[in-house]
Structure 1
Amino acid sequence: MPLPRGVCAGQQDRALQNSTLREADVVPKLDRWLALLFAPASQATTIRRLHEAQRRPAAAPSTPEVTQARAQLATCDQKLARYREALGAAEPGSTATITKWIVETETERAKAQARLRALAPAKRTQVLTELRSSSW
């Protein structure tokens, strides 16, 4: 957004920090918007959107454990790419060792994925029928 004439960036930042919203200015508009979303004519669309929003995976919090598990996944992916490249260039009789490495790395990767899933916040997903049967 362009700055008003005669206002520098620092002044605008301070002005934004000191802004207040009056409840009387916000609530009526919010009420009208919610009434539109939950009106009988919009109910099917709102239910579908609520259901689709639940399918988005919750982001795991950024903790040292999560960072470590993500790093482990990246390392495994790099190893797997190298092993598959080596497997493609290997002599037909010398693939057993590389195949063993791939299996070990895929197992290690699955463990890191399981750690990430365990660290992700629990989320109960309502099924579409539950949303439809909710009283509005």
Structure 2
Amino acid sequence: MFKSPSILVCSLLLSACSVNLQQAEDPSTKQLVREKNSFQVYVTKVELASGYTLVVSEGLLEPRSIGSVTVKLYRDLTLGDFVSAVSFSRDGTIFESVLVENATNKQQLSITTVTAGSGNYQTSQFICIQGEKMSLC
């Protein structure tokens, strides 16, 4: 039937590929898979002296170069015991988030962003935490 083994192997490979290509997939699933594989996001947690935890993150599905920052305060992150949050706009990606004050009754978090492009300009936004209240400061 086939004159050479390489033609037989090629025929088998092509038929196997055609079977996979003909399988129908939900288009919305393809979109989600592509988005999950194509974006990165900054997210970190910061432990406070009060025992609370902060979660700092860039907005999901936003471009890395511009968007929002959200800081969430939890009594207990393991249990998901959420207290409050603050969000603000950002021009650039989050470079770092560091506690600059960490007393048991008052904390201050610095979030530094770096702009995209050749300038690499840095900007810092401070978040003040007193008890269970958070605000930009």
Instruction: Specify which structure has the higher proportion of strand.
Output: 2
Higher relative contact order (CA 8 A, sep 6+): 1
Query: Structure 2 length as normaliser, TM-score?
Result: 0.26
Query: Structure 1 length as normaliser, TM-score?
Result: 0.26
